[in-house]
Amino acid sequence: MILPSLTSITLLALTGILAQAKPTSNLRTWDEAYAKAEQVVSKMSIEQKVGLTTGMGWGITNCVGNTYASEDPDFPSLCLQDGPLGTRYASNATAGVSGINAAATFDRNLMYKRAEVIGKESRGKGVHIQLGPSVDMLRAPNGGRGWEGFGEDPYLQGVAGAEFVKGVQDQNLVATAKHYVLNNQETNRTTSNSDVDDRTLREIYVWPYARMVEAGIGSVMCSYNYYEDVHICENDYMLNTVLKKELSFRGFVMSDWGATHSTAPSANGGLDMTMPGDINYGDGLSYFGPNLTKAVENGEVTEERLTDMATRIAAAHFKVGQDKDYPETTLRSFDRQNEPEVIVTSDDHINFVREIGAASLILLTNDGILPLSSKDFGKIAIVGSDAAPPSVECTDLACNDGTYVQGWGSGTVDFPYIISPTEGITNRAGDSVKVVHTYDDWDTEAAAELASDADIAFVFAKTEAGEEYLMVDGNNDRKNLTLWNNGDNLIQAVADANENTVVVIHSVGPVLMPWIAHKNIKAVVWPGLPGQETGNSLADVLFGDVNPSGRLPYTIAKKEEDYGAHISAEYNIEYGEKLNVGYRHFDANDIEPLFAFGYGLSYSTFDYGKLKVNTKRGKRDTLATATVFVRNTGDVDGAEVAQAYISFPESAGEPPKVLRGFERVYLKAGQQRKVNFEFTETDLSIYDEESSCWVVPEGEYTVSIGASSRDIRESATFEL
Ligand code: BGC
């Protein structure tokens, strides 16, 4: 991989062809989009309609998926490209923060802006359909693709998913929510059956999709796994009943790559598009294509259904306004040498990545050593390969080299460069500070020696994970929650040698921290997967240019057995924890986590007070509102994330409390602000299995407001 410096990137931006990334911002309502789609599709032959529903095959088109174009009536070949983090297989694009970091900001504006940047860049490359967001729940803490999505809570996934949809679709791309549904581990992802009850299905796993449908999402990707022994991509119940009928989803369903297994059962089961088209990659055959034409001709699939499939696809395209001034596709996913130079990255995008990288950093412990002042430190030691720039190129980032900024798989973006942690810290520390390093994770003696005479020692460690089709050291789901590359021993050795040790962990998810009580570990910093500006984002927080405000989108437990769900190697994956996913399990079973969901420190302190709850019917379908005053009681400006948890009436059978609101508020030192929460009918409903309806249980509700799921500062009750 070529790693040019920031300066050469900036120069390129000045001399190259700058992409026209301007949106046409002519989004249509579904009704308007359907009217346009029906006009076009009604003029199409069976073959033309089939063309819209069929991918041209893997590895031979410009994008990871392309549909067949139609002539007279004209309809373009749609370019489908990953992913949830940015534009995959693209040059001169930005490699930003992962989904899990977007979640850690707990900030709707930043979530939207991130998606807007992704949308602008993909649009600039002529992508029509963005293969993101991912809202796969981090059900087991070591799930391989959890980092692509937004953590362990459905409400957070729903908010972040909806912001992604708005941000991307406002740039005229169709967003794709994936992987629908119950695709929460990589182990046996194509051969396992997800076994869940109806209520849990809706309250946890379908919930984020419902919020994205409300936000107008154009497409949904069905997943590889089975439900009730039927592949999801031909599962009438999941696609037709739940997604299209219950959620009133009017866009189209595409298969995950290779997740189609039949012709008529799939089309009739609710699948609208098969991707990448071939039955087995490269075989030139398809379950759709001529096979679908035949199925329509012999009556196995009605022409009405085929028309519905094509109309849904065309409607999504028209809804986001791709019929006007849309850039031509310049990606060459499988022929990168011949990719025309189109620069979609920009200084604004790069600055934004740096900003959201810092905003998503979670400060786990700090005895006051942070923020650093260069004045106090003459010599800094940096230990661990996770602080180093990566030096090798590898397919979809499946390698274990240097600092970690994304997981691996289809959800990755080639990084144009990486500001390594060492570079970020060295630049920010300035010339008066001596920075020394060792990147050898295995030579703990050398690490200890280097650390021993420094004023402060940073020790870096990481974990990795990614998608099933690749493996690193036997992992895709992580095999365990232990740090990689001798991390625990390295941390122990450095902490033994230096009484001002700061631990920095780049991780795809929770890890075990056997060294957490070491007296010399003065801070633990958790930057997640921050993308190409990682070193700068980190330095911004370490040196106090940014006050940390990131919050954990998952629970970090004291031991692996404490979690409520684990990766299963069985065919039948029982979702036995039911509604008690993530922190709900810890609450329900009174287990003390090491670091709770929603937790994160600041350089300041915040007080909460004067909580007021009101059940007067408000705007739209709001059933209750809460207001609370949050005050910055420290002497540093910064943001606080106020979180609202609801406890339902006993009779509802809900977990002890569930997240139903959050607000990230920026407060100057001493400043106080009123924070408002609105709880809608949806927020206060449960899925009643007997009536198959969402109902608002009657009785006493508690609203608990605080700085994490285990740091509740104010609570009040109300009756409904
Ligand atoms: C992944 C999808 C991805 C697709 C296309 C599949 O392996 O599961 O998330 O969008 O490939 O790259």
Indicate if the pLDDT at residue 556 is higher than 90.
yes
The reply to whether omega before 154 is within 30° of 0 (cis) is no
**Tokens linked to 171:** 């740039």
Please name the residue whose Cα sits nearest to atom 8 of ligand 1.
256
The pLDDT, as a whole number, for residue 35 is 98
The pLDDT, as a whole number, for residue 26 is 65
User: Is residue 101 within 8 Å of 538, Cβ to Cβ?
Assistant: no
The ligand 1 atom nearest the CA atom of 276: 5
Indicate if the pLDDT at residue 627 is higher than 80.
yes
* % residues pLDDT > 90 (the chain): 94
How many CA atoms, within 13 angstroms, populate the side-chain half-sphere of residue 388? 15
> Which residues are CB-neighbours of 478 under 8 A, at least 6 positions away?
142, 144, 463, 464, 465, 508, 509
The pLDDT, as a whole number, for residue 619 is 64
The ligand 1 atom nearest the CA atom of 82: 10
DSSP sequence for 156-211 = HHHHHHHHHHHHHHTTTPEEEEEEETT---STTTTT-EEE--HHHIIIIIIHHHHH
At 696, is the secondary structure helix, strand, or coil? Answer: coil
User: Is residue 484 within 8 Å of 384, Cβ to Cβ?
Assistant: no
At 497, is the secondary structure helix, strand, or coil? Answer: helix
The strand pairing partners of 645, in sequence order, are 659, 704
- 409 C-alpha to center of ligand 1: Å? 8
At 438, is the secondary structure helix, strand, or coil? Answer: strand
**Tokens linked to 615:** 């059940």
The reply to whether omega before 23 is within 30° of 0 (cis) is no
- 604 C-alpha to center of ligand 1: Å? 42
Please name the residue whose Cα sits nearest to atom 9 of ligand 1.
410
Average of per-residue pLDDT across 543-551: 98
Please name the residue whose Cα sits nearest to atom 3 of ligand 1.
410
**Tokens linked to 561:** 């057995």
Question: What is the per-residue burial (b if ≥16 Cβ within 10 Å, else e) of 667-689?
Answer: beeeebbebebbbeebbbbbbee
The pLDDT, as a whole number, for residue 21 is 42
The ligand 1 atom nearest the CA atom of 411: 9
Per residue in 196-253, pLDDT (tens digit) is 999 999 999 999 999 999 999 999 999 999 999 999 999 999 999 999 999 999 999 9
User: Is residue 674 within 8 Å of 580, Cβ to Cβ?
Assistant: no
Question: What is the per-residue burial (b if ≥16 Cβ within 10 Å, else e) of 592-604?
Answer: ebbbbbbbbbbbb
The strand pairing partners of 41, in sequence order, are none
The strand pairing partners of 718, in sequence order, are 701
The ligand 1 atom nearest the CA atom of 223: 8
The pLDDT, as a whole number, for residue 616 is 77
d(CA 54, CA 56): 6
Please name the residue whose Cα sits nearest to atom 12 of ligand 1.
410
Closest alpha carbon to 358 in 506, 549, 504, 167:
549
Closest alpha carbon to 597 in 97, 204, 153:
153
- 454 C-alpha to center of ligand 1: Å? 46
Indicate if the pLDDT at residue 373 is higher than 90.
no
The pLDDT, as a whole number, for residue 25 is 54
Per residue in 397-421, pLDDT (tens digit) is 999 899 999 999 999 999 999 999 9
- 256 C-alpha to center of ligand 1: Å? 6
Place of tokens 């809460």: 626
**pTM for the model:** 0.96
Q: Which of 140-154, 388-402, 427-441 has the lowest mean pLDDT?
A: 388-402
The ligand 1 atom nearest the CA atom of 88: 12
Active site residues: 256
Around Cβ 717, how many Cβ atoms within 10 Å?
11
Q: Which of 107-111, 303-307, 389-393, 668-672 has the lowest mean pLDDT?
A: 389-393
The ligand 1 atom nearest the CA atom of 132: 10
User: Is residue 204 within 8 Å of 565, Cβ to Cβ?
Assistant: no
d(CA 359, CA 540): 10
Average of per-residue pLDDT across 44-70: 98
Per residue in 149-171, pLDDT (tens digit) is 999 999 999 999 999 999 999 99
Average of per-residue pLDDT across 596-617: 96
C-alpha dihedral, 470 to 474 to 479 to 483, nearest 10°: -100
- 257 C-alpha to center of ligand 1: Å? 6
Which residue of 224, 257, 334, 467 sits with most ligand 1 atoms within 8 Å of its CB, as the best mutation to test the pocket?
Answer: 257
- 87 C-alpha to center of ligand 1: Å? 13
Place of tokens 């959890």: 146
Closest alpha carbon to 213 in 260, 176, 183, 170:
176
Q: How far is CA 309 from CA 22, 81, 313, in A?
A: 30, 20, 7
Average of per-residue pLDDT across 10-20: 35
- 89 C-alpha to center of ligand 1: Å? 13
**With the C-alpha atoms ordered 387, 392, 398, 399, is the resulting torsion angle positive or negative?**
negative
501: left (phi over 0), alpha (psi -120 to 50) or beta: beta
Angle at Cα 165 formed by Cα 398 and Cα 175, nearest 5°?
Answer: 60
φ/ψ (deg, to 5) at 639: -105, 145
Please name the residue whose Cα sits nearest to atom 11 of ligand 1.
257
The pLDDT, as a whole number, for residue 207 is 98
d(CA 42, CA 433): 71
d(CA 201, CA 694): 13
Q: Which of 286-290, 397-401, 561-565 has the lowest mean pLDDT?
A: 397-401
The pLDDT, as a whole number, for residue 252 is 99
Helix (H) or strand (E) holding 711: strand 711-719
d(CA 599, CA 476): 27
Indicate if the pLDDT at residue 708 is higher than 90.
yes
Indicate if the pLDDT at residue 701 is higher than 80.
yes
Angle at Cα 600 formed by Cα 498 and Cα 485, nearest 5°?
Answer: 50
β-pair type (638-647, 700-708): antiparallel
- 538 C-alpha to center of ligand 1: Å? 30
User: Is residue 528 within 8 Å of 554, Cβ to Cβ?
Assistant: no
The strand pairing partners of 629, in sequence order, are 609, 674
Share the mean pLDDT of the chain. 95
d(CA 696, CA 393): 53
* % residues pLDDT > 70 (the chain): 96
Distance of alpha carbon 578 from its chain centroid, rounded? 22
Indicate if the pLDDT at residue 3 is higher than 60.
no
Q: How far is CA 709 from CA 27, 579, 626, 713, in A?
A: 38, 16, 17, 10
Indicate if the pLDDT at residue 12 is higher than 50.
no
- 401 C-alpha to center of ligand 1: Å? 24
Average of per-residue pLDDT across 516-535: 98
Q: At what angle do helices 108-124 and 347-359 cross, to 10 degrees?
A: 150
Amino acid at 155: Y
Question: What is the per-residue burial (b if ≥16 Cβ within 10 Å, else e) of 323-347?
Answer: beebbebbbbbeeeeebeebbbbbe
At 660, is the secondary structure helix, strand, or coil? Answer: strand
d(CA 5, CA 168): 29
Which residue of 397, 467, 468 sits with most ligand 1 atoms within 8 Å of its CB, as the best mutation to test the pocket?
Answer: 467
Which residue of 56, 78, 131, 186 sits with most ligand 1 atoms within 8 Å of its CB, as the best mutation to test the pocket?
Answer: 131
Per residue in 67-103, pLDDT (tens digit) is 999 999 999 999 999 999 999 999 999 999 999 999 9
φ/ψ (deg, to 5) at 488: -65, -40
Which residue of 62, 179, 256 sits with most ligand 1 atoms within 8 Å of its CB, as the best mutation to test the pocket?
Answer: 256
At 121, is the secondary structure helix, strand, or coil? Answer: helix
The pLDDT, as a whole number, for residue 618 is 60
Amino acid at 444: T
- 515 C-alpha to center of ligand 1: Å? 37
Please name the residue whose Cα sits nearest to atom 4 of ligand 1.
257
Site residues for ligand 1, CB cut-off 6 Å: 64, 82-83, 131, 178, 256-257, 410
**Tokens linked to 517:** 């009580």
HEC string for 399-410? CCCCCCCCCECC
> Which residues are CB-neighbours of 597 under 8 A, at least 6 positions away?
151, 152, 153, 552, 553, 554, 555, 582, 583, 659, 708, 709, 710
- 106 C-alpha to center of ligand 1: Å? 26
Per residue in 459-505, pLDDT (tens digit) is 999 999 999 999 999 999 999 999 999 999 999 999 999 999 999 99
